[in-house]
Structure 1
Amino acid sequence: MPNLIYIADPMCSWCYGFGPELSALLEGLPGLPVEIIVGGLRAYSTDVMDEAMKEDLMTHWKKVHETSGLAMSDQAIEQPGFVYNTEPACRAVVAARSIAPSASLAVFSAVQHAFYVEGRDVTRANVLAEVASKALTAAGFPIDAAAFETLWSSEKIVMATHADFVQTKNWKIDGFPMLVLERNGQLDMVTSGYTRMPALIEQLQMLVDNSPQA
């Protein structure tokens, strides 16, 4: 059965902007599985965000807002000592995937909402545990925040997250979001970067029409 592979990072602004387009696509293709591979946009960063970094980031965020129309709060990055390390948020998605692959996109979206809309610091374990456990529970996979944080902190999940980053590098992907169609081991790119839903449908249709099985 075909499935989509979504290579992204929950703290990537263009991934956030792309969210509604992906959701619209999936609503029109009920039952199509989606596997998330987390890319590690700024994984393991230790640099405290200074004003120059903030200005650069806000330039990107402004473009995302203008393109997508989505609200974007800078409350999280304005917190003193904020470090833009995307590994913890990526690890929350991987932890959710280990519990319920079908709910990993819901957790991915919930982390995005917490960061970009609510302005919460999703580099923090307690914030991620609260956000992810609520999203998983709402999706029918109940888990409390403490249990999720224990899983998130485990060596197994730390290593699985790192493995996603390695896979992304092996695929020579250095920009997000990227959406790939997988069929019988064959990988075909649907989009690299922000793309609106009608164009996604057109690209998927073209891939199907050009398939050797078509």
Structure 2
Amino acid sequence: MNDATLTYLFDPLCGWCYGATPMLDRLEQSGIALELLPTGLFSGAGARPLDAGFAAHAWANDQRIERLSGQRFSQAYLDNVLNVRGTLLDSGAATLGIVAAGLEDPRQRLAALKAIQHARYVGGRDIVTVDGVAAVLTDVGMADAAQMLKAPTPALLAAHRDLVGHGRTLFQRLHANGVPALAVIRNAAPRLIGANALFGSYDDLVAHIQAA
């Protein structure tokens, strides 16, 4: 990577982002530094009701993601998340929790993201409310982040605005058509690596990164 930065654009409620987790783990284990930037895809104006039509669409996609990535989408997730009406698809609380976890050490963003994804897609737990996300963070030893999420400080809110703003700006600059997306940034010039590379072989992904 030399002087390049590898940036991962994501939303914690994106099933494809959950599917990309094994590749992120491989990158991290190989010592490749990874910057995580949320795009706010399903927060703010992007939040929407989780109705029956969207739930069916999501579950069909989830089955495809499971086949491609090996990531598990459980019956508990189907029963307690997708098939429950009256809830929102809103990643605001989860995104703020991830920012809180990485406020002192940005490397903790990935650990928080993985915990939140696992809670939703395997545990069938609530990760769209502040209390739900705080409970998940507490369970994985991030009690300080959980407390900050419940009572956000000005520093946390500013960091959240900056990260989401940066993520959206980079997303638009790359003309990305969705998340997950990887960008290799060298000499302030970002180059997009398509999401397909996150669902192929690890060697091919590294080759894409090195060629960018």
Whether TM exceeds 0.5 here: the answer is yes
Q: How does 1:11-90 map to 2 (within 5 A)?
A: 11-28=13-30, 30=31, 32-44=32-44, 45=46, 47-72=48-73, 73-74=77-78, 75-90=80-95
**1:139-158 Cα distance to aligned partner (Å, 9 max, x none):** xxx62632342237964355
The residue type paired with residue 199 of structure 1 is: D
CA distance in 2, matches of 1:204, 1:166: 21
The residue type paired with residue 52 of structure 2 is: E
CA distance in 1, matches of 2:18, 2:47: 23
What is aligned with 1:4? 6
When the two structures are superposed, what TM-score results if normalisation uses the length of structure 1? 0.81
Shift of 1:23: 0.9
Residue 98 of structure 2 is aligned to residue 93 of structure 1: yes
CA distance in 1, matches of 2:161, 2:145: 23
Shift of 1:36: 1.0
Shift of 1:202: 1.7
Pick the aligned partner of 2:172 from 169, 172, 175.
169
Point out 4+ residue stretches in structure 1 off by more than 6 angstroms: none
The residue type paired with residue 55 of structure 1 is: A
The residue type paired with residue 123 of structure 1 is: V
Identity of matched residues, %: 22
CA distance in 2, matches of 1:94, 1:62: 29
When the two structures are superposed, what TM-score results if normalisation uses the length of structure 2? 0.81
Name the stretch that deviates more: 170-179 or 152-161: 152-161
Pick the aligned partner of 2:120 from 115, 135, 149.
115
Aligned length: 201
Superposition CA RMSD, Å: 2.5
Q: Point out where structure 2 has 5 or more consecutive residues left out of the alignment.
A: none
What is aligned with 1:212? none
Q: Point out where structure 1 has 5 or more consecutive residues left out of the alignment.
A: 208-214
